[in-house]
Amino acid sequence: MNNDIKIVIDAGHGGADSGALGNGLKEKDYTLLIAKYLKKRFDELGVKSILVRDTDETVSPSERVNRILNAFGNSSDVLLLSNHLNAGGGEGAEVIYALRNNDTLSNKILENLGKEGLKMRKVYQRRLPNDNTKDYYFIHRNTGNIEPVLIEYAFIDNKNDADKIKNNYERYAESVIKSVADYKGINYTSPITKDTYTVQKGDTLWNISKKFGLTVDEIKKLNNLNNNLLYIGQVLKLPNYDTATDTNITYIVQKGDTLYSIASKNGISVNDLKKYNNLTSDNLSIGQELNIPKGTSIITPSEDEIINEGSVYKVQKGDTLYGISKKFNTSVDKIKELNSLIGDILTIGTNLLIPTSSLSDIIIHKVVSGDSLWSLANKYNTTIDSIKQLNNLVSDLITIGEELQVKRNTK
Specify whether the CB–CB gap between 141 and 64 falls below 8 A: no
Domain 196-299 bears CATH identifier 3.10.350.10: yes
Quote the radius of gyration of the chain (alpha carbons, Å): 26
Domain ranges of the chain: 2-184, 196-299, 304-407
pLDDT at 289: 77
Query: Same CATH topology for 196-299 and 304-407?
Result: yes
Provide the terminal-to-terminal Cα distance of the chain, rounded to the nearest Å. 67
Contact 352, 316 (CB under 8 A): no
How many Cβ atoms from other residues are within 10 Å of residue 232's Cβ? 10
Q: Which residues of the chain are under the pLDDT cut of 50?
A: 241-247, 295-311, 358-360
pLDDT at residue 280 in the model: 80
Q: Please say whether the beta carbons of 322 and 332 come within 8 A.
A: yes
Helix (H), strand (E), coil (C) string for 360-403? CCEEEEECCCCCCHHHHHHHCCCCHHHHHHHCCCCCCCCCCCCE
CATH number of 2-184: 3.40.630.40
Whole-number pLDDT of residue 139: 97
Say whether pTM exceeds 0.75.
Answer: no
pLDDT at site 306? 33
Q: Where would I find the beta strands (DSSP E) of 87-146?
A: 93-97, 120-124, 127-128, 131-135
Per CATH, domain 304-407 is 3.20.20.70: no
